[in-house]
């Protein structure tokens, strides 16, 4: 397996282009199952999660084309023995690790066409790799009236149950059975609109039920829906495809079902988590970094926490400028909560920043029960963190020291990069396949700003 090697102590200075959001791109790709016409998505990031989902969609019958540098479409899927598939080489290309491995800023453009759903079976082998694959359940039910989708299983950062997904789909009239780790879902006469109230604002359940409801008969009302920008991106995509949705961006979504959706062209929003991560990296090392394409409105709570910590945040016509020149970091307490509060996906990165603050900071995690696994790895770098249930107390130290560490999940892995950028000496991070799931060519973006960082092939 590949590793990341870095030597700390260098300021970051320069420009980092922010990629399209993984958490927006995945449900947008899945929305292609809802129509037999092409859905064109621009600004897609080059990530292994994108490739994993593309493989699953191909098995369900989605033809996938990519626009090349000449503006021409190239087909990625192929048909063997009557089955559509995405080969290993094409998957690597989508993930940004194909034959041409040179990093080029700017997202990809994909065309996804599900003329005919060839299979409603989503196999465990692919769904187990990425929980968002489970979101194909709603669109398959809405378009085909049936679906056979593997349960996603556990997760390193918590159980993340799918009960809200299933309860919402049952409200829409789906008959659901669990058999040998699979959700077997069907409808008689199609889905029908209903009033659904989530007990908590689940991002995944909102995605799944929303995509099912757009083809249901009558009106569906989703109360206590998640409000993340990625859900707004999906809802606006569905409207562009002909869906009728009111309340976009609020906790109450009203959907009037339509008989058919058509194709559309939609841009993936910028990745607020990637932008927040690089902002914290610049705050950690000091220097002057402009995050081009970043939209500050998408992660205001995180930027406010950065400002409170003594990092200067300026909005520009290109994005966001992050600067810090020698001033000590001020400890800041945070509580992770659903959007628009401080996001759980930035908690590990902010904890890394606080390891060198002048005093104690408290991190309270309310979303996932196991999202402190990075603590013991940060301790290997000299961080002082004590755990108290859902709270972590970070006592700032004068210096961190490089060491071999291991990534445990996507966001935890990048917190180790942030700490390593400021640590004295060399840090090596193993299991960086976690990074490749959600950060497009991180080592290239950081090295372009002066970081001493490189990938060591496994």
Q: Mean per-residue pLDDT for 199-225?
A: 97
CATH number of 23-267: 3.65.10.10
Same fold, 3-15+271-456 and 23-267: yes
To the question of whether residue 93 is assigned a binding role by annotation, the answer is no
Is 131 marked as a binding-site residue? Answer: yes
Q: Tens digits of per-residue pLDDT, 25-76? A: 999 999 999 999 999 999 999 999 999 999 999 999 999 999 988 999 999 9
pLDDT for position 99 = 53
Task: Reply yes or no on domain 3-15+271-456 having CATH 3.40.50.970.
Answer: no
Reported confidence tier of residue 154, pLDDT bands at 50, 70, 90: very low
**Torsion sign across C-alpha atoms 332, 335, 340, 346:** positive
* Residue 360 neighbours by CB under 8 Å, 6+ apart: 331, 393, 394, 395, 396
Strand runs (DSSP E) across 271-400, as ranges? Answer: 287-292, 312-315, 319-324, 334-336, 360-365, 384-388, 391-395
What radius of gyration, in Å, describes the C-alpha atoms of the chain? Answer: 22
pLDDT: is 24 or 130 the higher one? 24
What are 314-348's pLDDT values in tens digits? Answer: 999 999 999 998 889 999 999 999 999 999 999 99
Instruction: Please count the helices (runs of H) and the strands (runs of E) in the chain.
Output: 15, 27
Q: Is 149 annotated as a binding residue?
A: no
DSSP secondary structure, 25-42, as one string: HHHHHHGGGG-SS-EEEE
- Is 155 an annotated catalytic residue? yes
Of 144, 155, 237, 270, which one is the catalytic site residue?
155
As a whole number of angstroms, the longest Cα–Cα distance in the chain is 66
Whole-model pTM: value is: 0.96
DSSP symbol at 331: P
Q: How far is the C-alpha of 441 from the C-alpha of 232, rounded, in Å?
A: 26
Query: Does 163 belong to an annotated binding site?
Result: yes
Residue 161 labelled as part of a binding site = yes
Nearest residue to 346 via CA among 436, 280, 253: 280
- 201 labeled part of a ligand binding site: no
Q: Compute, in degrees rounded to 10, the torsion defined by CA atoms 34, 345, 295, 42.
A: -30
Q: What string of H, E and C letters represents the secondary structure of 369-430? A: CCCCCCHHHHHHCCCEEEEECCEEEEECCCCCECCEEECCCHHHHHHHHHHHHHCECEEEEE
How much of the chain, in percent, has pLDDT values that exceed 70? 96
pLDDT of res. 129 = 86
Report whether pLDDT(160) > 70: no
State mean pLDDT over 242-268: 98
Task: State how far the Cα of 449 lies from the Cα of 454, in Å rounded to an integer.
Answer: 13
84 DSSP β-pair partners = 79
Tell me: pLDDT of 159 over 60. no
**Residue 15, Cβ density class (10 Å: 0-12 exposed, 13-18 middle, ≥19 buried):** middle
Domain boundaries, the chain: 3-15+271-456, 23-267
Tokens of 357: 């603050």
Q: How far apart are CA 92 and CA 436, in angstroms?
A: 11
More confident position, 97 or 235: 235
């Amino acid at each position: 397996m590949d590793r990341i090697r870095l030597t700390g102590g260098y300021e970051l200075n320069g420009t980092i282009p922010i990629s399209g959001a993984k958490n927006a791109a995945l449900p947008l790709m899945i929305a292609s199952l809802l129509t037999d016409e092409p859905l064109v998505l621009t600004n897609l990031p080059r990530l292994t999660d994108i490739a994993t989902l593309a493989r699953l969609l191909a098995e369900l019958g989605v033809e996938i084309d990519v626009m090349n540098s000449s503006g021409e479409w190239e087909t990625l899927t192929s048909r063997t023995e009557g089955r559509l598939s995405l080969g290993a080489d094409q998957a690597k290309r989508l993930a940004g690790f194909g034959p041409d491995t040179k990093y080029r800023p700017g997202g990809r453009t994909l065309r996804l066409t599900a003329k005919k759903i060839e299979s409603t079976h989503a196999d465990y082998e692919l769904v187990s790799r990425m929980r968002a694959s489970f979101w194909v359940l709603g669109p398959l039910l809405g378009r085909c009236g049936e679906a056979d989708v593997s349960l996603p299983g556990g997760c390193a950062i918590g159980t993340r149950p799918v009960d809200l997904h299933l309860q919402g789909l049952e409200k829409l009239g789906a008959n659901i059975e669990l058999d040998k780790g699979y959700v077997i879902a069907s409808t008689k006469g199609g889905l029908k609109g209903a009033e659904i109230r989530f007990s908590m604002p689940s991002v995944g359940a909102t995605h799944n039920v929303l995509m099912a409801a757009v083809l249901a008969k009558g009106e569906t009302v989703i109360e206590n829906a998640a409000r993340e920008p990625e859900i707004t991106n999906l809802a606006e995509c569905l409207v562009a495809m002909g869906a009728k949705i009111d309340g976009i961006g609020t906790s109450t979504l009203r959907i009037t079902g339509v008989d058919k959706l058509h194709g559309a062209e939609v841009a993936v929003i910028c990745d607020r988590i990637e932008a927040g991560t690089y902002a914290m990296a610049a705050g950690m090392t000091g220097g002057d970094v402009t995050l081009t394409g970043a939209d500050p409105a998408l992660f205001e709570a995180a930027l406010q926490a950065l400002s409170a910590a003594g990092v200067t945040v300026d909005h520009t016509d290109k994005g966001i400028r992050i600067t810090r020149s020698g001033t000590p970091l001020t400890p800041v307490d945070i509580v992770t909560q659903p959007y628009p509060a401080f996001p759980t996906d930035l908690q590990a990165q902010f904890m890394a920043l606080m390891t060198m603050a002048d005093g104690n900071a408290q991190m309270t995690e309310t979303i996932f029960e196991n999202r402190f696994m990075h603590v013991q790895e940060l301790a290997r770098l000299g961080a002082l963190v004590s755990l108290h249930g859902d709270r972590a107390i970070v006592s700032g130290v004068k210096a961190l020291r490089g060491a071999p560490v291991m990534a445990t999940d996507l966001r935890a892995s990048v917190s180790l990069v942030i700490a390593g950028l400021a640590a004295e000496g060399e840090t090596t991070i193993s299991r960086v396949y976690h990074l490749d799931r959600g950060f497009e060519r991180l080592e290239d973006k950081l090295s372009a700003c002066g970081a001493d960082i490189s990938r060591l092939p496994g």
